[in-house]
Amino acid sequence: MTSDNGFGYERVETVERLREFHEVVGTVFVGGGPALDAWVDAFRSRLAVDDFRVATDRGRIVGTYRSFAQRVTTVGAGSVPTRGVTAVTVLPTHRRRGILTRLMADGLDDALADGAAAVTLIAAEYGIYGRFGFGPATDAAGFRIDVERAGLGPVGDVDLRFVTGADYLTASTAVHAGVVIPGKVSRPPTEGERRAGLLLADVPDTTHRVVLYRDDLPVGVVAYRVDELWEDNMPGSTLRVVELLGVDADAERTLWRFVGSVDWVTKVVTGPRPVDDVVGELAANPRAVVQRERSDHLWLRPLDVPAMFTARTFAAPGRLVLDVDDPGWGRGQGPAHGRFVIATEGGAGTCARTDEPADLALPVTSLPRLWTSDDTVTRRVAAGDVAEQTPGAAARADLLLFSPRRPWAVDGF
């Protein structure tokens, strides 16, 4: 155990401490999560695998931080090893005294030593993580569908089946593994169970679970809940999509048509989806499919720039030199600091440190969007995130970095 600001910092090693960990998380993240016993049961086996670390005051936990091994899918369907960070909390009695700063610095040091290419998280508030070198890597948006106006069309002759929670989990695990999209995080521990409705304790399980099969193989899954409503003897229920995933566009189209054709449902709402989701294009009246709450979703802290860029593909041959400013996390210059040359040919590329003059200069926090091709470089230059060092470099970079799909993390964590 070490000490800083009078607080202790240690790893969670016992189930009793794990219970206290979740109590603190529950105090900070008010509501929404599974009940204590269900959570402890689900995470007991993760004690030896994940990294649960805490800050303590007089022996009691006052700050929490968990990280776990993860992979993030690159443009071109490769992947890099990352660490996902979650359950970042500091009790309201102990805020703004440097606890997060210490937990994060220790976590980043360890991720770097472990060889992670990057560290990822989903930021509760925009202003928290930039100071540690995290930047948005993907956006996401929810959708609200006015079912009667949208006209998503008939489902057609397909093999859709309601299944048990256990069968849904098996199918969704397979389908998730088959989904290829840049920015996808490997399924976080217990996320499959949560979406299958298997990680809810004291509340009745109201999850509907449907699997789409092709030749008896699962190719799509949708889990949803319905808020039933009747007014003047007319149905007006809302269908809440917990998960909707297909291994290909055909499967996803079928699932959208299905959720858009459930009797008594007049409104469909979703959580974070890819911003270029095709659902709007499927509707006879696209205005009835509204994108809402669009914002940053997955954040990423680059650690190993050569590994990140070597693992993705490129749309054109060429060379691009990036000059990255990485001030680190309070313990010296960051590992992404310096100049890197990306050399591409035949779709593949290499990335290495260089002394060549830079084409583009950018802070480490702007690198994630470039890496996932979430936005054009031209637009990032216009926004002032990226500076062109050689004329025409942004347009050249856009040809190299083009990706046909916007990235999406698929899961939250």
Among 35, 47, 112, 128, binds ligand COA (CB under 6 A): 128
Asked whether position 5 contacts ligand COA by CB under 6 A, the answer is: no
Q: Considering only CA atoms, which of 39, 87, 85 is closest in space to residue 64?
A: 87
Kindly write down the DSSP assignment for every residue of 25-48, as one continuous string.
HHHHS-S-SPPHHHHHHHHHTTTT
**CB-based contacts of 244, cutoff 8 Å, min separation 6:** 220, 221, 222, 252, 255, 256, 259, 270, 273
Asked whether position 185 contacts ligand COA by CB under 6 A, the answer is: no
By CB under 6 A, what part of segment 59-88 binds ligand COA? 88
CB atoms near residue 93 (< 10 Å): 9
Instruction: Give the strand pairing for 265-270 and 237-246.
Output: parallel
SS3 152: coil
Asked whether position 99 contacts ligand COA by CB under 6 A, the answer is: yes
Asked whether position 58 contacts ligand COA by CB under 6 A, the answer is: no
Q: State the virtual CA torsion across 378, 384, 386, 389 in degrees, nearest 10.
A: 90
User: Catalytic: 129?
Assistant: yes
Binding part of the chain for ligand COA, among 95-103, 156-164, 230-238, 347-355 by CB under 6 A, reads 95-103
User: Catalytic: 413?
Assistant: yes
Q: Which C-beta is closer to ligand COA: that of 58 or that of 96?
A: 96
Asked whether position 90 contacts ligand COA by CB under 6 A, the answer is: yes
Cβ(399)–Cβ(315) under 8 Å?
yes
Q: How far is the CB of 28 from ligand COA (least distance, A)?
A: 5
Asked whether position 98 contacts ligand COA by CB under 6 A, the answer is: yes
Asked whether position 6 contacts ligand COA by CB under 6 A, the answer is: no
Cβ(277)–Cβ(363) under 8 Å?
no
Q: How far is the CB of 60 from ligand COA (least distance, A)?
A: 15
Instruction: Give the strand pairing for 118-122 and 79-90.
Output: parallel
Q: How far is the CB of 99 from ligand COA (least distance, A)?
A: 4
Choose the catalytic residue: 9, 65, 129, 168: 129
Q: Considering only CA atoms, which of 142, 70, 62 is closest in space to residue 103?
A: 62
Asked whether position 108 contacts ligand COA by CB under 6 A, the answer is: no
Among 53, 97, 253, 339, binds ligand COA (CB under 6 A): 97
Q: How far is the CB of 101 from ligand COA (least distance, A)?
A: 4
Distance of CA 50 to the CA centre of its chain: 18
Would you give the binding string for ligand COA spanning residues 9-28, x where CB under 6 A is met? -------------------x
Q: How far is the CB of 307 from ligand COA (least distance, A)?
A: 25
CB-neighbour burial class of residue 228 (10 A; exposed 0-12, middle 13-18, buried 19+): exposed
Question: Which residue pairs, CB below 8 angstroms and at least 24 apart, start in 170-175?
Answer: 170/218, 171/211, 171/218, 171/221, 172/196, 172/218, 172/221, 172/223, 172/243, 172/245, 174/218, 175/218, 175/219, 175/220, 175/221, 175/245, 175/246, 175/247
Instruction: For residues 75 and 3, give the distance between their C-alpha atoms in angstroms, rounded to a whole number.
Output: 42
Q: Which C-beta is closer to ligand COA: that of 66 or that of 209?
A: 66
Binding part of the chain for ligand COA, among 89-97, 108-116, 143-151, 170-178 by CB under 6 A, reads 89-97
C-alpha dist (Å) from residue 330 to 17, 106, 119, 182, 245:
29, 11, 16, 31, 40
Q: Which C-beta is closer to ligand COA: that of 109 or that of 205?
A: 109
Choose the catalytic residue: 132, 168, 340, 413: 413
Asked whether position 124 contacts ligand COA by CB under 6 A, the answer is: yes
Q: Which C-beta is closer to ligand COA: that of 54 or that of 322?
A: 54
Q: Which residue is nearest to ligand COA (CB)?
A: 127
Asked whether position 96 contacts ligand COA by CB under 6 A, the answer is: yes
DSSP label of 91: -
Asked whether position 35 contacts ligand COA by CB under 6 A, the answer is: no
- Residues forming the site for ligand COA (CB under 6 A): 28, 88-90, 95-101, 123-125, 127-128, 131
Q: Which residues are catalytic?
A: 129, 413
